[in-house]
Structure 1
Amino acid sequence: QKAFVSSSIQDKVSILKKQIAMAEKDLPLLDMALDFCLTNASILSDSTHLHDLLFVSLYALPQDNLEPYDSALKKLFFLYNKEEIRVEILNLLTKIAINEAFFTENLYNFLFEEIEKDYSRRSNKSIFASLQYLSSIQDLAFFNKIYPLLSKNIDFELKKNIEEVLALSIENYKSDLLERISTTTAQEKKLILSILGRNPHLNLFFKAEVTENLLRATIISIGDNTGAERESLLKEFYEVQMESVRIIKEAKWTRAASLVAGYFPIAVEQYTAFLISKDELLEVMDSLTLLATSETGKALSDYLAVLNKKTEKTGLFDEEIMLHLISALAQLGEKTAFDNLLYVILHEGYPDSIISASKEALAKLNW
């Protein structure tokens, strides 16, 4: 230790490296090295030799007992602006994961300032390490502070990193997320779905609850609007609505059955407007069948009535849609479909395939 005190910075690095190679670390010597880096930062913060000493010191820290160094590491972060040093410090702090208000607030400020920089001057590595640390401490403000960054003009890599970090911690911020859903734009709703998709290990029921709220918000937004405004909203929301229905179906989230039933007439409108494909319309029908409530059955039965009226008026029908719809009603045993199925059998314009399917469906109705 005496040799360390009296030596040059280069020699200090050599002494510390030799000590690291030993089986048992000299922690007092390591403390002296960190203190030296702290004390001389204001004078020599640009010194490559001091950077080397700090790097070696950080590398030498006992990985199984980092907590005693939390305070020193947080001071060092703002004393040295070299990217590699800051990233390494944040990686160590992430392992400690202690939320200290002053440092946390200053790190948010650092993060926001860094993101505002031009791409050529921005340190994406420091940004990502900051995000990882802030996520690790489960700061209560994390979601509400970080989510709005996705709406900024940022590059794809940074956007992806932010989404991935949010996805890993999103279950801790459910109330913040659900609160935002009702006020977000269509594009922001897509962002929420994108975040959910970044974490393959995310709880499926959590995803279903979020998408239930997304679907509800979009249905409310469309509401009773008519004309050009309605057309615009149908176009804005169809992607969010279809993906929400898929997740609800995957989770068998019966709590959202009435919502999916409420969305079905909207899906029909979107199909008519060529916003969703026939296969996607059939997907929504399958979701209604799987969720299997009186509301979903009635939604399908009502659609059969609509198609019957169209056939009567124009003589036109889509055989695939008719057969899929009748099969769904048969699976549900939906008794409210009796009159509509009977109409199919008695109408002369339908082919034998549709009439036979209707007869089979009638036989399966629950009375």
Structure 2
Amino acid sequence: MKRIIAFAVTMTAFLLSFAEEKNSSMVEFYRGNIKDKISAVKKSSESGDSSVAVKSIEFLIDTNEVLANDEDYNALAEVSIRSFNSRNTVGNEKQVSAHLCSLFRMTESQRVKIAIIDFFNTMPNGEAIQMINDFFYKKMQNHNPVDDTVIRAVEFMGQKGNAASFNRLFIADILEVWPEFSPKIAECYGNLAEENRREILQMIVSVPADKKIVILNKLNANPKISKKICGECAENVLSSVINKGEEVKSKEKKEDLITLELLCLETVAKTKWTRASVVATKAFEKVRGEYELKEISDEQFTKAISNISSVANSDTVVVLSSYLDFLNKSTESGQAPAKDVVLSVINSLGELGDNRAFDFIYAATSLDYPDDVVEAAKSSITKLKW
């Protein structure tokens, strides 16, 4: 019983002492100048009490219009913000969050904005994410130079952001608002890409060809973007290019579409996106037509053939065999095709290993092709599966 009484007395004394200290800090805050207020906030926060810091934020909001550019004012703001943590804000998280959002929107101080972003990095919520998204978007629209607040905002969006965060970061990179800052932005939206796969697909199919090229190149270059996303985007874009019904009137637009088409084929090959086999095989006739019109070079055409065969299906063998038959007949009639093109077709058919190509490859061994083409044909024959 004596122990219980002693414990109760001790606790009562402690609570009274705490209350007096808390009251003392609050009095000091109200009576003192800004430097005294900083001291009061520090004392209060060291004891695990955030009530003085809350009053400090309210004071800062009320006086911002007058004191916003005062160095001591901003020092008080930073000390107050950094005094909050997950323990001393229990029960008043909403109040603290609302106050900090209000202060963030009105202050122009980098150090204050950064302190607020750092707080929300440990205690994020929907309002804060939207606020920082909007802050970044405004900076992007105005083409403001990158400063520490923009960097901190980008990092926050990459770690705690949502679909809107991804959208804003991705657009900033595509539009190259801050080219020198592009690697950081790409890293951060890369963190959000997987959960925003649909957002990427919707964006890439809705923009002009030149922007599609930029987006696909950005996706391919970003190590945080999965091959699945790159392959799926390339498949969808390639399908839209091939099935495009409208007539291309502008030479520049035509060039963009060809570049895009070749880039899509390269992407599906690199990502081994075999789901694109049908559309890739279908693309051959279009690429062939562009080659025969001299709209693409020998090198581009041979690369396209190789890329198509990388994601081949059973129809690919038929298409390439038919083209080899055309090349053989051209050779017989004295119209020798480009050697690299013939090699690409023969080597691709050999790698596919489908014996339906035998007659056409075999025919190439007896025609007036250069020695290395004949040797490639013989080698391809040995790879066919029977």
TM range (shorter): 0.7 to 0.9
Asked if residue 306 in structure 1 is aligned to residue 326 in structure 2, the reply is yes
Aligned residue number for residue 22 of structure 2: none
Aligned residue number for residue 29 of structure 2: 4
Which structure 1 segments of 5+ residues have no match? none
Match of 1:291 among 295, 303, 311: 311
Distance 1:147 1:331 in 2: 39
CA distance 1:78–1:266, change in 2 (3 Å): same
Map 1:68-107; keep pairs closer than 5 Å: 68=93, 69-100=96-127
Map 1:246-265; keep pairs closer than 5 Å: 246-265=266-285
8 Å Cα contact 2:321-2:357 kept in structure 1: yes
CA distance 1:225–1:92, change in 2 (3 Å): same
Aligned residue number for residue 357 of structure 2: 337
Which stretch shows the higher mean deviation, 154-163 or 260-269? 154-163
Distance 2:89 2:199 in 1: 32
Asked if residue 168 in structure 1 is aligned to residue 187 in structure 2, the reply is no
Which stretch shows the higher mean deviation, 90-99 or 57-66? 57-66
Alpha-carbon offset, residue 94 of structure 1: 3.4
Number of positions where the alignment pairs a residue of Structure 1 with one of Structure 2: 356
Equivalent AA in structure 1 for residue 304 of structure 2 = V
Asked if residue 178 in structure 1 is aligned to residue 207 in structure 2, the reply is no
Identical pairs, percent: 22
Match of 2:373 among 347, 354, 362: 354
Distance 1:76 1:362 in 2: 75
Alpha-carbon offset, residue 366 of structure 1: 3.9
8 Å Cα contact 1:86-1:126 kept in structure 2: yes
Q: Deviations for 1:4-40, whole angstroms, at most 9, x for unmatched residues?
A: 33221012224445677x6x64434433433332343
Give the TM-score normalised by structure 2: 0.76
8 Å Cα contact 1:99-1:139 kept in structure 2: no
CA distance 1:252–1:270, change in 2 (3 Å): same
8 Å Cα contact 2:129-2:161 kept in structure 1: no
CA distance 1:342–1:180, change in 2 (3 Å): same
Alpha-carbon offset, residue 56 of structure 1: 1.6
CA distance 1:351–1:190, change in 2 (3 Å): closer
Aligned residue number for residue 224 of structure 2: 201
Equivalent AA in structure 1 for residue 373 of structure 2 = I
Q: Deviations for 1:105-130, whole angstroms, at most 9, x for unmatched residues?
A: 665554444334364xx565444544
8 Å Cα contact 1:143-1:166 kept in structure 2: yes
CA distance 1:359–1:45, change in 2 (3 Å): closer
Map 1:218-233; keep pairs closer than 5 Å: 218-221=241-244, 225=247, 232-233=252-253
Which of the two has higher C-alpha Rg? Answer: 2
Alpha-carbon offset, residue 52 of structure 1: 0.7
Alpha-carbon offset, residue 309 of structure 1: 3.5
8 Å Cα contact 2:265-2:304 kept in structure 1: yes
Distance 1:18 1:171 in 2: 45
8 Å Cα contact 2:132-2:153 kept in structure 1: yes
Equivalent AA in structure 1 for residue 240 of structure 2 = A
Alpha-carbon offset, residue 99 of structure 1: 0.8
Distance 1:212 1:64 in 2: 50
CA distance 1:178–1:153, change in 2 (3 Å): closer
RMSD: 3.6
Which structure 2 segments of 5+ residues have no match? 1-24
Equivalent AA in structure 1 for residue 125 of structure 2 = I
Distance 2:89 2:184 in 1: 26
Equivalent AA in structure 2 for residue 83 of structure 1 = Q
Distance 1:260 1:52 in 2: 61
Equivalent AA in structure 1 for residue 103 of structure 2 = L
Alpha-carbon offset, residue 198 of structure 1: 5.5
